[in-house]
Amino acid sequence: MMKEKETRLTDNRNEHINHSSNPIMESGRSGKPSAAEEDLYKTLANSSQVGVYILQDKRFRFVNPHIREYAGYSEEEMLNMDPPSIIHPADRRMARKNAIRMLKGQRFSPYEFRILTKEGRVKWIMETVKAIRYQGKRAVLGNSMNTTEQKEARSRLEELEALESSILDAIPHAVIGLHNRVFIFANNAVEQVFGWRPEELIGKNVRLLYRNEEDYDEIARRFYTALENQRTYTTEFPAKRKDGREILCTMMASRIGDILREGRIVVTYEDVTDQKRARQELEKSREQLRNLSLHLQSIREEERTRIAREIHDELGQALTALKMDIAWLGNRITGKNAALQKKTDYMSSLIDNTIETVHRISSDLRPGLLDDLGLSAAIEWQTQDFQRRFGLPCRAELSVEDEGIDRHLATAVFRILQETLTNVVRHAGATEVTVRLSEKKRVLILEVTDNGRGATQAQIEDPRSFGLIGMRERVRPWEGTVLIEGIQNKGTRVVVSVPLIQERTGNP
């Protein structure tokens, strides 16, 4: 469209130059004009909208104001200068050749060349010449027009079109332009995405890119409805390649102009079929790994429970029986053998210590309180045991009824508490720990705070912090979250939040 407009403008300029009425040119028909006629001719030439000059004996004999204006010289300077000197050196030969051809009747269209103005600027001139007689002698009449602005505008337009073409081709996604759902342009990436070459699509309906009429109508409804009220619209939609293969595309449409007219839009298509498949496979793999991790945790908990029960029942009973036998034996040897009595007392003490160790190992594997009395009782016992073992004050604040807490969830929360307390001992350097268990709006909340050195963000986000990763994974089946906050030299805060949904139970 722009090129057609430029052609019409050029034709109009050519017509204006070729048909400019110039009495000086016409004077050759009746011989030498009178002084009054010559003054009239010059007056008319001076009022012309194009540059007019007369060349005779290799000198300007007349130049009108228009030509003096764009050349930048005064009338006196031009009348005394060598005419070819005004022409750009690179164009002088070509301009002279075209002028001679036109004077001989071998060329009829205007020709273009560059001139150098007095200030040294380069300007473009479109010119025609005609042989005339002036003051009784042969001369050349020239009509010229300054086309610098048009030439520069055309050059800028060509550069802009080249830039737009380069930008479109540099985009890795397919880009198309539509006018009433008909292709008006397409970039080279269209072939990579859809298998169509750009020239194959121009003038055809965009229906080529969709699987069927229903899809074609649906995507048009989405795009044009949305673009009536907003500049851009993005969606995912299935499309079809030239070979018939279906692909999934992320599509972004933008209207051309401030308002939507005649369905003029630009659409980009990104083939996300492989990405979508890869994401699905990755998510499936992650889900499988999570399920495997949960399964292993479940097996581990069951195994811990079994071993703890066997240790408590079998070893505990055996040690208790052994202690009773040692006591019976001690009663029988009282006062008869002091060395034997001392030995039985030592054995009885050793058995007591062993029974205590068995109870501790059994509790570490699986606290009986967790199964018998619930999460609150188990947490209270854990904080007391932690304080007794490490001499670190550990206060428990419990305000939860255990009836609504799933057994597996209670296990997960208790294990998170154990992991958190282990981290406090290993890394925090704290002198005090507080454990709170509460329920707010059907959300179970476990909060553990210490007054240690404070975990850094790098430590919290470290992908090798498997303990922290395990804490998050433990409550994932219940859509729970684990928040960890550390303030330098002020301590660390761990908050576990789990929705209490009665009908949903996890199985870690």
Pair of tokens at residue 78: 């031009």
Q: Which of 23, 22, 26, 17 is nearest to 132 (CA)?
A: 26
The kind and range of the H/E element at 46 are helix 35-46
- C-alpha–C-alpha distance, residues 302 and 313, integer Å: 16
Mean pLDDT is highest, among 13-27, 244-258, 333-347, 396-410, for 244-258
**CB–CB of 81/73 below 8 Å?**
yes
pLDDT at 16 over 60: no
Q: Binning pLDDT at 50, 70 and 90, where does residue 377 land?
A: confident
Residue 44 — pLDDT band, cuts 50, 70, 90?
low
Q: How many CA atoms lie within 13 A of 153 on its CB side?
A: 10
In contact, 39 and 27? CB cutoff 8 Å: no
Q: DSSP character for 205?
A: B
Over residues 316-335, the mean pLDDT reads: 76
pLDDT-derived band at 59 (thresholds 50, 70, 90) equals: very high
Instruction: Measure the CA–CA gap between 276 and 246, rounded to whole angstroms.
Output: 13
CATH number of this structure's domain 2-153, picked from the four choices 3.40.50.920, 1.10.540.10, 3.30.365.10, 3.30.450.20: 3.30.450.20
| Phi/psi of residue 188, nearest 5 degrees | -70, -25
Copy the structure tokens of residue 378.
């188990």
Q: Is the pLDDT of residue 34 over 60?
A: no
Residues 272-316 pLDDT 10s: 988 888 888 888 777 777 666 666 766 776 676 677 676 766 777
Check residue 21 and give its pLDDT. 40
Please tell me the predicted confidence (pLDDT) of residue 211. 92
Tell me the one-letter amino acid at 264. R
Take residue 427 and report the two structure tokens written for it.
Answer: 């890394």
User: Taking 60 as the threshold, does the pLDDT of residue 70 lie above it?
Assistant: yes
In this prediction, what percent of the chain has a pLDDT beyond 70? 80
What pLDDT score does 166 carry? 66
In this structure, of 160-169, 202-211, 354-363, 445-454, the range with the lowest mean pLDDT score is: 160-169
CA distances from 14 to 53, 108, 110, 168, 407 (A): 17, 10, 6, 36, 95
Rounded-to-integer distance, Cα 27 and Cα 62, Å: 14
pLDDT surpassing 90 at residue 123: yes
Q: Tell me, what's the pLDDT at 337?
A: 73
Fold observed for domain 372-508: Heat Shock Protein 90 (3.30.565)
- Of 366, 367, 370, 448, which Cα lies nearest the Cα of 409? 370
Strand partners, 139: 132
| Domain-wise residue ranges, the chain | 2-153, 171-271, 277-366, 372-508
Tell me the two tokens of residue 36: 């009054």
Per-residue pLDDT tens digits for 131-174: 998 888 999 999 999 998 888 888 777 777 666 666 777 678 89
Topology of the domain comprising 171-271: Beta-Lactamase (3.30.450)
The CA distance from 323 to 334, in Å, is 17
Q: What is the mean pLDDT of the chain?
A: 80
Instruction: Give the burial string for 477-499 (b: 16+ CB within 10 Å, else e).
Output: bbebebebebeeeebbbbebbbe
Residue 147 tokens read as 């086309």
**Cα–Cα distance, 429 to 7 (Å, whole number):** 84
How confident is the model at residue 284, as a pLDDT?
77
The pLDDT value recorded for residue 313 is 66
Residue 41 has pLDDT above 60, yes or no: no
User: Which tokens belong to 73?
Assistant: 């010289």
pLDDT at 478 over 70: yes
Residue 418 and residue 420: Cα distance in Å, rounded?
A: 5
Fold matches, 171-271 and 372-508? no
Tokens 């009338």 locate to 75
Q: Give pLDDT, residue 139.
A: 93
